[in-house]
Structure 1
Amino acid sequence: MAVDFGDHASGFRHTEVIRFINNEVLLNGGGPGFYVAFRSRPWNEVEDRLRAVVADPQVPHAIKRACAWSALALSVRVGARQGEQQARRVRRLQEQVEERETAAWALASELQRLRADREEAATQLRFTRTALQQALSECDVLRGRLQQVERSAQVSPLAPETLPGPRAEQFGTAAWPLNADLNPHLPTVPPKRRTFRSYSLLEGLSSSSELPKAGSGGASMGPSIHCDCPCSPRCLSPHGPCCSWAQGS
């Protein structure tokens, strides 16, 4: 028997086909040797061995027919083996395709996220650029104002007489420039005189210790006038314009 009925790798699905092939091998004087020797070999080796048997004139014709039937069974086995290999290859390819699809979906999600980040970064960049331009404009405006203030300060400096502070006239003395003698072109204005309080004759009389009595011994003289005014020589005269005695008499 060349083909085993329980061999699922033989490639045959029907037992009637297996029985017919085995009968043909046995009727032609063959056996399971050829099939067993090449059942795990590739088809090119099986074909080379069959060619050697067919081309040998010393081999009987019946043996050649038995080897041909065994080679036919081996070809089906080789086809089944190649089909299984192709099926495994297809499954691997399908798995790879699924992996690639999963990776593609992941890359698509990552690409979408990166695109959103890019749009957000672009928006933030536009806002930052606008804020920077506004800050530069404000800086230019402030620089212009500063330059204008500097030019104004250079053109019209603050005069010394406008500086805040007490004047010399407030303390009763005249403000006389220190360099008046050094500059002959300056007008010579006399300083203001210190004003004193004028005492009236009545105040002078009240402040005196005693007054001379009328009719006393000695020559009759006028009343003794006592005045504390600095211009006392003029005040001794009743007609002096400095005191108010003349108006009171």
Structure 2
Amino acid sequence: MNTRPDEALRAALSSADASTRLQAALSAGTYPNDDYVDVLVDRCAVEADFFVRDMLTWALTRHPADLTVPRLTGETTSAVPQARSQAFHSLSKVGDPRGWAAVTESAIQDADESVARAAWRAGVILVPVGQEGEVATMLSTQLGRGDRDVQLSLARALAELGDHAVPALRAARIHPSTGVRAHALAIERLIDDPDDYFDEAIFEAMRIVTRQGEPDGTPDGTTDGAPDSTPDSQRDPHPEGTE
């Protein structure tokens, strides 16, 4: 009795050997079969190896979006965090506009950081023309969240929206949290100068917003709301950050 192709793929992706799983995912993308879609999506939810997960996503991009997008969209509300994060990651790679429907406020604010970060990325890639300000406003609710890597992910997402993100970032200048205000100001710096380093931008932004509480500080930390223009030779020493 011959084994069905999708059953053979499922068995190969269940192997204890990561190289076998990687090869199976590569083969599924090289020789697409509509019956593979469910198998690939199911495996994304449980695959432990990063490189295999990445190959699973690549394999999904090789299949018709009419099949993958609805299946992936459904996974974005799964009870399994990895299923949600991988679904958003795959939707961003597929790049089909229909995936935008999955980028909801609850997804942007997901308690699991890996899910939220994947949703942020999907949001800026899939947002329809004319709705960039809407996604920027949703993303701005996450300013100040998490550690350096999480904040860098949000910074990259908002910076990719460019000028569309500026109104939401400027609105954050009056937020009661110093961390939120500094994060917003740092992202504005990155939009103005894409070559700037995030760590340097956040350091300088924190210095500016901290000054707001001093007697001689201005409401926005500067006279015009722009980043501090003190010459480099007079600035406080700070580490050389990299992204």
Pair in the same fold by TM > 0.5: no
Q: Which of the two has greater helix per residue?
A: 2
TM-score, normalised on structure 2?
0.14
Q: Give the alignment's TM-score, normalised by structure 1.
A: 0.13
Bigger relative CO (Cα 8 Å, ≥ 6 apart): 1
Bigger CA radius of gyration = 1
